[in-house]
A and B are shown apart, each in its own frame.
Chain A
Amino acid sequence: MKTLKIEELSKNFGSTEVLRKINLEIDEGNFLVLLGPSGCGKSTLLNIIAGLETINEGNVHIDDYNVSKVEPKDRNIAMVFQSYALYPSMNVRENMIFGLKQAKVSKEKIEEQLEKVSKFLQVDALLERKPSQLSGGQRQRVAIGRALVREPRIFLFDEPLSNLDAKLRVEMRREIKKLHQQLKTTVVYVTHDQTEAMSLGTNIAIMNHGVIQQNDTPENIYNKPSNTFVADFIGSPSMNLIKGNLKESSNKVSFVTHGSNIEIPINGYDFKEKSNLDNKEVFFGIRPEHIFFKKSNEEDFEINLRADLSEYIGHEQIMTFNFENQEVLAKFPSTVKIDLSKNTKLFFDLTQISLFDAKTEERI
Chain B
Amino acid sequence: MFKWLEKNLPKIVMAPAVGLIGWFVYGFVLWTLYISFTNSKILPKYELWGVGQYIKLWGSRKWLIAVDNLLIFTALFLIFCVVIGIILAIFLDQKIRAEGVLRTIYLYPMALSFIVTGTAWKWILNPTLGIQKMFIDWGFENFTFDWLVNREMAIYTIVIAGVWQSAGFVMALFLAGLRSVEDEIVKAAKIDGANLFTVYWKILLPMMRPVFFTSFVILVHISIKSYDLIVALTQGGPGISTTMPALYMTQTAFHKSQVGLSAASAMMMFMAVAAVIIPYLYSELRRENAR
Contact = CB atoms under 8 A, between A and B. Distances in A.
Nearest to A103: B193
A103 B191 CA distance: 11
B190 A85 contact: no
Interface string B69-89: 000000000000000000000
B185 to A, nearest CB: 5
Contacts of A85: 182, 184-185, 187-188
B192 interface: yes
B190 A89 contact: no
A98 B191 contact: no
A87 B188 CA distance: 9
Nearest to A104: B193
A72 B194 contact: no
Interface stretch (A75-83, A191-199, A256-264, A334-342): A75-83
A73 interface: yes
Contacts of A78: 191
B273 interface: no
A219 B206 CA distance: 48
With a 10 A CB-CB cut-off, give which of A71, A82, A98 has the most chain B CB atoms.
A98
A317 interface: no
A102 interface: yes
Interface in A59-107: 71-74, 77-79, 81-90, 98-99, 102-103
A362 to B, nearest CB: 37
B193 A79 contact: no
A134 interface: no
B188 A73 contact: no
A176 interface: no
Contacts, number: 67
A274 B129 CA distance: 95
A72 to B, nearest CB: 5
B184 A72 contact: no
A288 B190 CA distance: 46
Nearest to B186: A85
Nearest to A53: B187
B197 to A, nearest CB: 11
Given A87-B203, A89-B206, A82 B184 contact: yes
Contacts of B182: 83, 85
A168 interface: no
Nearest to A156: B191
A89 B203 contact: yes
B272 interface: no
Contacts of B188: 79, 81, 85-87, 146
A98 B190 contact: no
B207 interface: yes
Given A82-B184, A89-B206, A89-B207, A102 B190 contact: no
Contacts of B206: 88-89
A205 interface: no
A78 B187 CA distance: 11
Contact of A102 (B184, B185, B198): B198
For chain A, the bracket of interface size reads: 20 to 34
B189 interface: yes
Interface in B187-228: 187-195, 198, 202-203, 206-207, 209
A47 interface: yes
A81 B184 contact: yes
B193 A81 contact: no
Given A88-B207, A89-B207, A103-B193, A50 B184 contact: no
A87 B187 contact: no
Contacts of B190: 51-52, 71-73
Interface string A142-170: 00001000100000001000000000000
A87 B185 contact: yes
Contacts of B194: 73, 98, 102
A84 B187 CA distance: 11
Contacts of B184: 81-85, 158
A81 B192 CA distance: 13
A81 B190 CA distance: 13
A296 to B, nearest CB: 49
Contacts of B189: 87, 98
A363 to B, nearest CB: 37
A45 to B, nearest CB: 14
Nearest to B192: A99
Interface in A20-74: 47, 50-52, 71-74
B187 A52 contact: yes
Nearest to B198: A102
A150 B182 CA distance: 23
B258 to A, nearest CB: 51
A316 B32 CA distance: 78
A73 B198 CA distance: 13
Nearest to A99: B192
A50 B203 contact: no
Contacts of A84: 184
B187 A79 contact: yes
Nearest to B181: A88
Interface string B172-187: 0000000000101101
Contacts of A87: 185, 188-189, 202-203
A47 B187 contact: yes
A81 B203 contact: no
A333 B153 CA distance: 90
A102 B187 contact: no
A79 to B, nearest CB: 5
Given A85-B185, A89-B206, 6 more contacts: A50-B191, A72-B193, A81-B184, A83-B182, A87-B185, A102-B195
Interface of A: 47, 50-52, 71-74, 77-79, 81-90, 98-99, 102-103, 146, 150, 158
Rank and list the top 5 A-B pairs by shortest CB-CB distance, nearest first.
Answer: A73-B193, A89-B206, A99-B192, A85-B184, A102-B193
Interface of B: 182, 184-185, 187-195, 198, 202-203, 206-207, 209
23 contacts: A47-B187, A50-B191, A51-B190, A52-B190, A71-B190, A72-B190, A73-B192, A73-B193, A78-B191, A79-B187, A79-B191, A83-B184, A84-B184, A85-B182, A85-B185, A87-B189, A87-B203, A88-B207, A89-B209, A90-B202, A98-B189, A98-B202, A146-B192
